[in-house]
Amino acid sequence: MISYFVSPFFAPVVTTCVVQRCCPRVAIPDYFTRDLQEMLDSAFRRDGPGSLKTVGTITIGPRSAPTLETAVTDDEVRSFVTIFRRLYMENEPANFLKATDVFIRAMGDHPYGRWVAGVAAEYRSQLAGPPDVPPFLSPGTCTFTTKRLIDVFLYTQYAHQPDAKRQRQFSECLTEVYGHRSVLTWLFFTTIWQASLVMGNAGRVISGWFGRYCQEHGITPDVLNSLRHDHSGLGAAEKAADRQARLFREKVDALAMDIWRQHGCPEAGPGQFVALAREQLERALGRGSLYVEGQP
Phi, psi of 187 (to 5 degrees): -60, -40
- Residue 210's Cβ-side half-sphere holds a number of Cα atoms within 13 Å equal to 26
Strand partners of residue 53:
67
Phi, psi of 75 (to 5 degrees): -65, -40
Other CB atoms within 10 Å distance of the CB of residue 38: 21
Rounded mean pLDDT, 5-25: 43
Residue pair 93/41 in contact (Cβ under 8 Å)? The answer is no
- SS3 state of residue 67: strand
Tens digits of per-residue pLDDT, 17-26? 444 444 444 4
Sketch the domain layout of the chain as residue ranges: 8-230, 240-285
* Pick from 3-7, 93-97, 175-179, 265-269: least confident: 3-7
Helix axes 146-153, 164-176, angle to 10 degrees: 130
Q: Where are the alpha helices (DSSP H) in 108-231?
A: 111-128, 146-153, 164-176, 181-217, 227-230
Strand partners of residue 97:
none
Q: How confident is the model at residue 181 (pLDDT cuts 50, 70, 90)?
A: very high
Residue 4 has pLDDT above 80, yes or no: no
| Share above pLDDT 70 across residues of the chain, in percent, rounded to a whole number | 83
b or e along 235-271 (b: 16 or more beta carbons within 10 Å of the residue's beta carbon)? eeeeeeeeebeeebeebbeebbbebbeeeeeeeeebe
Mean pLDDT (the chain) is 83
Residue pair 187/177 in contact (Cβ under 8 Å)? The answer is yes
**E strand intervals along the chain:** 51-53, 67-69
| Sign, Cα dihedral of 200, 31, 206, 21 | positive
Tens digits of per-residue pLDDT, 241-292? 888 888 889 999 999 999 999 999 998 899 999 999 999 988 888 755 444 4
Which helix (H) or strand (E) segment holds residue 74: the answer is: helix 74-88
Q: How confident is the model at residue 132 (pLDDT cuts 50, 70, 90)?
A: confident
Q: Find, among 50, 90, 100, 280, the residue nearest to 205 by Cα.
A: 100
Tens digits of per-residue pLDDT, 232-243? 676 677 788 888
Q: How confident is the model at residue 294 (pLDDT cuts 50, 70, 90)?
A: very low
| Sign, Cα dihedral of 10, 13, 16, 17 | negative
Residue pair 269/260 in contact (Cβ under 8 Å)? The answer is yes
Confidence (pTM) = 0.73
